[in-house]
Every structure is written in C-alpha cells, then in structure tokens.
Amino acid sequence: MPELNLTSAPAHLRHGSSIGQPLTRRDGVLKVKGQATYAADNHPPGMLFAVMAVSGIAHGRVTSLDVAAAKRHPGVVDVMTPDHKPQLAIDPEIKTNPFVFRMEVLQSNEVRYANQPIAVVIAETLEAATEGAVLLAPRYEELPALVGVDAGASFVPPVVGVGNPTENHRGDVEAGLASADKQIDAIYETPPQYHNAMEPHAIVAHWDGDGVQIDMPTQGLMLSLARVAELFGIAHDKIHIRSPFLGGGFGSKGLMAGPPVLGLMAAKLVGRPVKLVLRREQMYGPVGHRAPTRQRLRIGADGEGRLTALDHHARTVSSTFDDFYEPAADASHTLYAAPAIRTSHDAVRVNTGTPLFMRAPGEATGSIALESAIDEMAWACGMDPLAFRLKNYAEVEPITGKPFSSKALRACYDQGAARFGWAKRLLQPRQMRDDSGLLVGWGMGTATFPALMFQAQARAVIRRDGAGVMEIGAHDMGQGAWTALAQIAADAVGLDIDRVEFKAGTSDLPDAGIAGGSAHTATAGAAIHSAGAAVIAKLADLATNDERSPLFGAGNAGVIARDGRLIRRDDESRSESYAEILARAGVAEVEARGTGAPNPAAMEEYAMHAHGAVFAEVKVDPELGQIRVTRMVGAFAAGRIVNPHLVKSQLFGGMIWGMSFALHEEAITDRRSGRIMNANLGEYHIPVNADVPPLDVITVEEHDPHVNALGIKGVGEIGITGSAGAVANAVWHATGVRVRRFPIRIEELL
C-alpha cells in the first residue's frame, strides 16, 4: 500500500495497518444474535401504537371516514385526521431547501396517489390500531388516475438536488448523426421500482416537554433533524435522533418522508410515546421509488466503428405535486468518446408518490439503455462489444472535456475479460449452446458512477489512558460502513482498531452528512482522517515543545503516530506513548475536530468517476424462453479499497441489483385505478439465492490523488450500473432477440 496523501496534516502519520484489512462487520455478532436494536425494537414506557390508514384510490378526495367506529373499538385512543391533528409550524408543501420533498401529513382530504396516508389510528396495541384503521372504511370521490409516461403533457423538471442540468450537450449531434455510416435509433423502457428495504420505515417518537426523542432509521441524521426542527418549530438542540442500525435504505431513508412526521404528530396529539411502523404495502407510495423511464437513444458511428454522435433523451414521471425526476440520460455523459453528445429529460405528472433517489439513481436506468444501445451498435458495426468499447474509450470526460482524476477502466476491461474468458465469445448471436442444448449468451456492460463528496465533521479524542475516541454521526445501512470508518479512525489516530472507541449513529454527534451517493465512506472518512490528524498534531505539540520529551525539537512534521506512540522520523528508537505525553503534560485528554468536504478546485479541473466492467453469462431454454444467469464477473476500479471484504460484498449486492433490473423487478400499476398491484415481496420479484449465480468480483488497483485525502471513490452503487446491461446483452447474444423493455420476460423471447 502507498503512503497516504496527507495534504492537511501537520503531523505526518504513517500509513497504518487498519485500512486495507478485510475485517468482517464489527456489529455482525450483535445482528446475528438478534441483539442489535433497530428503531422499531424500542418500547418506551407508556408507548402507544399508531397505524396509518392509506388511500385505496390514486386520485380524488376522501369524503368520509368513520372515526366514531374506529374510536369505539376497544383499545383505540385517538384517530388523527386532517380535521384533528397538531398544527405544524410550517406548511409541509413548502420546499425550504433542494433536499426537502413535499410530504403528505394529513394537510387536506385530497388524494394524490394510492397508499397516501389519510388518517392515523393510535391505540394501546398494534392489533387495536390495525383494526381501528380498517373500521375507518373511507369513502371517496374518485377522479381518473394519471398513469404512465404518456399520461399527459410533459414538462422539463428542475435540477435534482445539486445534480447536472436537465439538458446538456457538447458538439453538433445532428451533424454527427447525419455523417454516420451506421445509426441506431431505439427506445428502451424501464419500470417503476421500489426500494424494498427489509426494515420498513419506522419511528418511535417520544415528546419530552418541548423536546423530542426519536428512534428512526435514517440515511441523513442532520437532514432529518433539521426537517423536524422546522416542521415542529423547535430548536435543533431539543431533538435527539438515534439511528444505530438500518435494515437497508437504498435512498428511501435519505430524506424525511411523511410517515415518520405522522408518528411525531401522533405522539404530540396523545401526549404519549408512539410507535409507527409501515406495513410492506405502505412502502409503495409515501417513501419514494424509482420512476419509470422511456429513453430514446440515437447513436451514429463511422465506417471504422467510431462514434460520431450520441443523443440520449429520457422521459420519466414525477408526482402531481413535486418535481423529482430520474436523471437517466446523464449516464451518457461519461463513458464513450463521441464528439457530439446531447442529453435531455422531460417528465409527466402522474398520480404516484414522488419518486426519489434509488440505488444508482439515473445511472442504473440510463446505463441499461446506453449499454444495450452500445451493444446494438457494436453488432451493427460487426465488432466485438469489448473491442467496440475500447475503440470508443474516453480518454477525457466527453461531455466536459476534462481529464479524469483517475480511470483504470482499461484494466477493468482487461482483467474482467480475462477472468471471464471473453476471448472465446462467438460474434454471432444464438451460436453457443451447452451440453444440454440450452442457448448460451455472453454479454458485457460498462459500469460507472460519479465519485462524490458531501460535507462531514468528526471529533477525535486521545485520552489519558492512551486510548482514542472518534465521534461522527455516521450511518450504517447494513453494508459495514461503521467498520470501514473505524478502520480509517484507527489509522487516523495511530492506534489499533480495538483501542479506538467509535461512536456513530446519533444526532448529538458531529454531522456526517448523508449516507448516499456512494459518498459516505469517502466523506465521513475524510472528516475522520482530518480529525485524527488534528488531534495527533495537538499531542505532538505537547511532546515536541517539552524538553523532557525524547521528541523535543522534532517538530510536528518530524514525528509519526503508530501503535499509540509518537515516533521520531529521524530516529525511530526515540518515541513516547500517548499516555506518557498526556501524563507529563497533566491533561486528561486532547481533542480536535476535522472536516470532510468536496474540493472545488479539483472538481473544476477533473472529472471524478469510479468505473467497472461486468461480464455475464446466461442460459436460455430455446423452447420455454426461461432465462438463467449462470455466472457473472465484475472488475471495478474505485480508488482506495478501505476493506476488501466489505467492498466485495457491496459489489456483489450491486451486481445482483443489476441482474434484478434486467430480469426481475417491476412494480405493476393498474392503469384503471392507479394502484400498484404487486405491493408485496411475494409478487414484486427480486432475485432469491436460487436465482443468483456464482459472482466473481475483481477490485482493480487505482490510486486517485484528487478525489479526497484518502483516494476513496465509493462502491455503494456502481455495481448495478454495468451489470444490468451485461445481463440484457447476454440475453440478446443467447437468443438473437433484442428486448428493449425491462425486465426482460420469457414471452418476449418466444
């Protein structure tokens, strides 16, 4: 491993031994033993249960609720409705910042989508609250539901959060297409998908005077805290959120949604702690989803197989009351060196809960279309799909012309192809069979995801006993983030990982930013790294300025921190333990804070992305059309790998999401009613273990001095991006049938 690039640290820490170790999740034993306390496992004394009643129609209004019947039911304490609820301090429809989404918290009788909360029943038991919600027997005035990407007039949505412009271009696309020898003009469709975290959204809300205690899974503690503060008109320091464990988030727990706000309102209404947990079908509406898309790709190539133009338009949907859209066409900004690129989006308003970030938002939907179209063009040019991609390899980011901060994609192609045995692929489709007569297809896709940085802070302490403490309000959605961050913390303070107390997951700790955008390890890690460097610098000050210390006169830059000791660079035999330094100085502890943040100068100069190459084999029954994925190889370059074991797990997970995108997942909306017909894990298909083939992940070495101090690019989302296209392209190669509507179904192959 190379030395860390310590740009800001006055004391030069030598690269420690924790980063790079394949540790297992440090909280794994607690989880396996059932001792990990998730939000809904909390039962404060006097707690009541709240159950949402949700709309059975997608558009219209509620004309009556039988509140009296619900209240008569034994155990029911109160029923919260638009007419009977605590007042919020601000209108929940107001967007106070780009990361606020409009929510439904009983502000009116209007129904904007199916499964919208329309009342909350609060009772002594879950059973009574559930029965009370049934007894409400809502009646409606129903209007026709708007469904699908053709539901009405389209509009150009505003930018999502801090993302790219809705429309983007470089070069003359029409001229490029006109001059092309070969053209592809194809439409690809992707379905609505739902996050389906194993742990549903949940809250245990406990008002305590004018303050509130909240147990709630969240990917963004401080974003949630700020939203609670403004909605309830209370100071930040009156709110305490605990989110120690999440059973998955995938973007759906990134922003405060309506249901946990309803839990807070219910607790306020009855003056007792309240627990509100969503049922599975209630997660298909008020807590976000991935919007469907219809994407048109027009690609031109010259006689040599070189791209002349790439035009990617994505139509998607948003809700009738907010503007989030799936930025699918942005996937075409980065990968292929077309001299002319145009990306554009529009959206149609439908009766749906507002879509939201869902694992690899934009890139997942956009890349399955782009990688399919590239595969189609390779075939049109008579070229091997890998050779075609190499011919159009982007040496600089095509849409901006900026150099990449690092890009080991060529090595990903090489290593992935070698491991897979790609060289033996026959160019023509429907040529390969296995011994039992099944059609065999080999496909590939390129993976890409931006290397983002958000804002985070951390606090580091070295105690009198020589042990360390690292505090950061970081989130672990189950992927092992806390383990990776504790590894960074150990190296940052020069201690063994077991000598550092790692505190995370509550809102009273320094703000770690959002766990999203595949940026959490990089962002929180940078904060930890900088806090550690700062606390070691303070320790070094105490020693190097004290003539009784063997380190006297070495200067901050003249010592390194390792194994709980500061050591002279020029003479490693001269050292002193942290405990000795603090004891002689007569102080109980030293502490310091650090930040992780984007580097605007580096972002101005470089394009920053992780990359990968995924190769998939499928077998298709020629009579039945049944598709099985039989093996996948993914090679990914994502900068520094903090923990190879956890990184592989993330990439396995992403590859499974990718095959799921290609073959399984789809939320099916009834066009007449606007209701989702498979709002459950039985009928919303995701791959089970029997569907998942042997997966092989290669992490390709990549050093990036620009993305952040630790050179981390993030691995949370990239795995899905190349994998979906690889599986789709393998299905074409097996059958010769190009399916452009996902998920690919058996009937389309017959």
Q: In the bound complex, what is the minimum distance in angstroms from residue 195's beta carbon to ligand MOS?
A: 8
* 579-585 LR contacts (CB < 8 Å, sep 24+): 579/464, 579/465, 579/466, 581/539, 581/542, 581/543, 581/549, 582/462, 582/463, 582/464, 582/466, 582/539, 582/542, 583/464, 584/546, 584/548, 584/549, 585/542, 585/546
- SS3 letters across 564-583: CEEEECCCCCCEEEHHHHHH
Report the C-alpha gap between 332 and 317 in whole angstroms: 20
Nearer to ligand MOS by C-beta: 357 or 606?
357
From 250-258, 330-338, 586-594, 661-669, span contacting ligand MOS (CB under 6 A): 250-258
Contact residue for ligand MOS among 249, 285, 292, 494 (CB under 6 A): 249
Residue 175 Cα to chain centre, angstroms: 38
Q: Which residue is nearest to ligand MOS (CB)?
A: 251
Task: Determine, following the binding rule CB under 6 A, whether residue 358 of this chain makes contact with ligand MOS.
Answer: yes
Task: Determine, following the binding rule CB under 6 A, whether residue 113 of this chain makes contact with ligand MOS.
Answer: no
Task: Determine, following the binding rule CB under 6 A, whether residue 327 of this chain makes contact with ligand MOS.
Answer: no
Q: How far is CA 27 from CA 30, 36, 213, 478, 492, in A?
A: 5, 8, 24, 9, 21
List strand residue ranges (DSSP E) for 415-507, in order.
432-433, 439-450, 456-463, 468-471, 500-503
From 165-173, 352-360, 382-390, 436-444, span contacting ligand MOS (CB under 6 A): 352-360
Report the C-alpha gap between 715 and 479 in whole angstroms: 11
Task: Determine, following the binding rule CB under 6 A, whether residue 596 of this chain makes contact with ligand MOS.
Answer: no
Task: Determine, following the binding rule CB under 6 A, whether residue 422 of this chain makes contact with ligand MOS.
Answer: no
322 closest CA partner among 356, 361, 346: 356
Contact residue for ligand MOS among 132, 361, 654, 658 (CB under 6 A): 361
From 274-282, 356-364, 488-496, 647-655, span contacting ligand MOS (CB under 6 A): 356-364
Q: In the bound complex, what is the minimum distance in angstroms from residue 714's beta carbon to ligand MOS?
A: 10
Task: Determine, following the binding rule CB under 6 A, whether residue 248 of this chain makes contact with ligand MOS.
Answer: no
The site map against ligand MOS for 8-27 (x = CB under 6 A) is --------------------
Which residues are CB-contacts of 435 (< 8 A; sequence separation ≥ 6)? Answer: none
Task: Determine, following the binding rule CB under 6 A, whether residue 305 of this chain makes contact with ligand MOS.
Answer: no
Residue 709 Cα to chain centre, angstroms: 22
The site map against ligand MOS for 190-229 (x = CB under 6 A) is -----------------------------x----------
Report the C-alpha gap between 306 and 304 in whole angstroms: 6
Nearer to ligand MOS by C-beta: 138 or 247?
247
Q: Which two tokens stand for residue 421?
A: 């045995």
**Contact between residue 152 and residue 315 where contact means Cβ atoms under 8 Å apart:** no
Nearer to ligand MOS by C-beta: 132 or 251?
251
From 59-67, 357-365, 395-403, 458-466, span contacting ligand MOS (CB under 6 A): 357-365
- DSSP reduced 3-state for 519: coil
How many residues lie near ligand MOS (CB under 6 A)?
Answer: 11
Contact residue for ligand MOS among 275, 345, 359, 459 (CB under 6 A): 359
Task: Determine, following the binding rule CB under 6 A, whether residue 250 of this chain makes contact with ligand MOS.
Answer: yes
DSSP 357-414: --SSTTHHHHHHHHHHHHHHHHHHTT--HHHHHHHTB-SB-TTT-PBBS---HHHHHH
Residues 482-541 that bind ligand MOS (CB under 6 A): 516-517
Q: Which two tokens stand for residue 704?
A: 């990036």
Nearer to ligand MOS by C-beta: 101 or 250?
250
**Contact between residue 29 and residue 193 where contact means Cβ atoms under 8 Å apart:** no
Task: Determine, following the binding rule CB under 6 A, whether residue 478 of this chain makes contact with ligand MOS.
Answer: no
From 123-131, 244-252, 362-370, 496-504, span contacting ligand MOS (CB under 6 A): 244-252
Alpha helices by DSSP H, 167-319: 173-178, 221-232, 258-270
From 220-228, 306-314, 355-363, 379-387, span contacting ligand MOS (CB under 6 A): 355-363
Task: Determine, following the binding rule CB under 6 A, whether residue 357 of this chain makes contact with ligand MOS.
Answer: yes
Element of type H or E holding 542 = helix 520-544
From 196-204, 207-215, 354-362, 543-551, span contacting ligand MOS (CB under 6 A): 354-362
Contact residue for ligand MOS among 254, 416, 513, 714 (CB under 6 A): 254
**What is the contact surface with ligand MOS in residues (CB under 6 A)?**
219, 249-251, 254, 357-359, 361, 516-517
